[in-house]
Structure 1
Amino acid sequence: MIGWKRNLWILVVSQFLVISAMTMIIPFLPLYLQELGVKNPETLSIWAGVIFGANFLTAFLFSPFWGRMGDKYGRKMMILRSGFGMALVISLTAFAIGPISLLLLRLLNGMVSGFIPASIGLVSTNTPKDRVGYALGLLQSGSVSGAICGPLIGGVLAQNYGYSMVFIITGMCIFIATFVVLFFVKEQFTQVKEKEKTSTLDDFKTVTAKKPVMSLFVVIFLIQFAVMGVNPLLSLFVEELTSPATVAFYAGVALSVMGFANMLTSPLLGKLSDKKGAQHVLTYSMIGVAIFSIPQAFVTDIWQLIILRFLIGLCLGGLLPAVNTLIRMHAPSGMESRTYGFSNSAMYLGTMIGPILGGLVVSSVGVRGLFFVCALVLFLNVVLVKVKVLPAANLVFKAEKVRRKNEKVVPQ
């Protein structure tokens, strides 16, 4: 198998294992806190929110630093650092003695995290430019399928073996995935020597000086903001449409069908990005998500909601892979990992702020009003892409097509 294809398939499977493992713990995190002695319902909800967000906070802060290390030592090294680090930290979580120790471990896990961003960086820099869209789309399928399976597996394991054992199994899964990467993923990496030492702020200025990188950071923030603003609050809406006894089941179905549809279309839309341009796939996919978000405010039956969530999932498959393809296209040479580091900080920021502001919107205008707000955010994001991203992306894409054409007609 060609080197880049071997790397891609290994990392697809590894990402499936890692995301499955990491999402195993999400369904029962509040229940684990109860086991650790947090009994008051109000206190429990506060601790659960803080501990869930702690991981994203430190990941947001440290992502640019690990991006710099990736440019210096290679993306594979960052995958190994993150994988073995998370395997250790998550395994230690099984021995937490209270909510404070659990919070500290979650903060530490966010600090060492970065398996997924480093995998994206390795695949994007070691894949032929005309296949990057397809590769990143397939990589996204591995992540999404893991996110679908993880909570289901975690629930079964927790019921049969207890919460602490799930953390140990999670650590083992991440360790195995990282071990496979260590021996079977080969990276073509050439270190670019820097003329002088630079700070994170200097790196940010250098990266964003190249248009339209800063706009892409804003785009990825708004995508996560809109999507994550709805997802954690969807169960409240499902509660309006079903009986209390079936809320958990249908809330899970509504989220799962969206993930399943995303998994189906990511590789297909990735291929389309390579042929027609990631900028166009991003634009029309985002319009699709925005359009299908609006009718959700008017549904009267749970199956109407599930169908609309499936349609949204089909469009979601074209968002993050397309943005990552565009970032690879415009990242300064030798600073690809740093560029992805900053973009992942933007993504983590959207993941943190989306549910917080989503909760405020729901408290003011209700869950149905939230769908309109998220659709508006996405439409504004489309305008940003049209104005700030499309012109530069079209020029680079046309130049790349000319280069490929010239390579084909060179006499043998």
Structure 2
Amino acid sequence: MRVAMIGTGYVGLVSGACFADFGHVVTCVDKDPSKIDRLEKGEIPIFEPGLDDLVAANVRDGRLFFALDGSEAIRSADAVFIGVGTPSRRGDGHADLSYVYAAAEEIAGLIEGFTVIVTKSTVPVGTGDEIERIIRERRPDAQFAVVSNPEFLREGAAIGDFKRPDRVVIGINDMDGETGARAKAVMTEIYRPLNLNESPLLFVGRRTSELIKYAANAFLAMKITFINEMADLCEAVGADVQQVARGIGLDNRIGSKFLHAGPGYGGSCFPKDTLALVRTATDAGSPVRLVETTVEVNDARKKAMAGRVEAALGGDLTGKTVALLGLTFKPNTDDMRDSPALDLVPGLISRGAAVKAFDPEGMEEAAKMLTGLTFVEGPYEAIEGADAVVIVTEWDPFRALDLDRVKSLAKGSVIVDLRNVYRPEDMRARGFDYHSIGRA
């Protein structure tokens, strides 16, 4: 199959490279000359483990291409995927669909023969209807179908998630009609390589597919927020949140994933998608109170983390130096979007602290969003002379710190572990004043 992928951001680039690895001929299109230039030189503009090798292999084998002008790729495509950004719109929290609709306008003028236009971007319910209206209005003669195919990729594990998915959701209207049946056949062929893994293709209506994506992310965000509130309760009553999480997670109805207490969720999906779902539900006259509360509690939690560090240092950060280990919202990514560090750093500085920080991959992005702190080249450089060490992101190098070296370099003995990487009894035995989340 011939595939055009509009957008070379996280979703577009990972999806395009994986489709090429399936054996399809894929052209990834982007309006940003610097991105296309870097990709053509073999440089990957995002950090995702294994993506550089995957892209290089498929470029070398003649299945993956990059272009500023998508005209030729779109004209010859069996399917055109829209994988552009849908950030939260300033002021009201709705998803900004301007890039999606601009892509639809461009596609409308170029498609030839029957073409499936697929929204891979995360979009609110009804977006596919509007894309179809745009194309139909511009090209009443065109033969096409608009399909929803949301992504469920975890940053840091995206390639594995794409190739071994729990399910592939495909939203098509009127599957019993000729156009719907043709669209289903095209999508089935595109994902045919997954038959080896017996990954289920879930065919549903287009609006249902759009809502599945938001509902999935909102549910996972609620699980994270739930265990974070349980962590606070554990601290109040003398229980252990990790044991609570294990005790409830062994119940198959609940499951163990996304029950890790911490400083609050962040990243490119959960914050904007929960907010967009809230706005969509409110506009539809069917508010989602649990999701609304999740958004409020998570925002408050991230802002409260600086207070935890302040309390660990006796209630006064004036003149103190705090070392931050990790800045990205999770390990194995350079993504700083809505990271807890974006609230933690200003909170510490406003309380009078000097902040030194190290992250294995995120410092370039962090420098665009944070000011007033010092970026250093390694964890021990951050720790040297610090009154407190704060583990913000659970990168592997921070899971196995040389604790004797930490003790000798740090000015104080305070460690605030926001990810529960270490065991309290071990840290106390080594003489640290150790503070974690939801544990005595």
Instruction: Judge same fold: TM > 0.5, yes or no.
Output: no
Q: Is the radius of gyration larger for structure 1 or structure 2? A: 2
Instruction: Name the structure with the higher helix share.
Output: 1
The two structures have a TM-score, normalised by structure 1, of: 0.23
Instruction: Name the structure with the higher strand share.
Output: 2
| Greater RCO (Cα-Cα under 8 Å, separation 6 or more) | 1
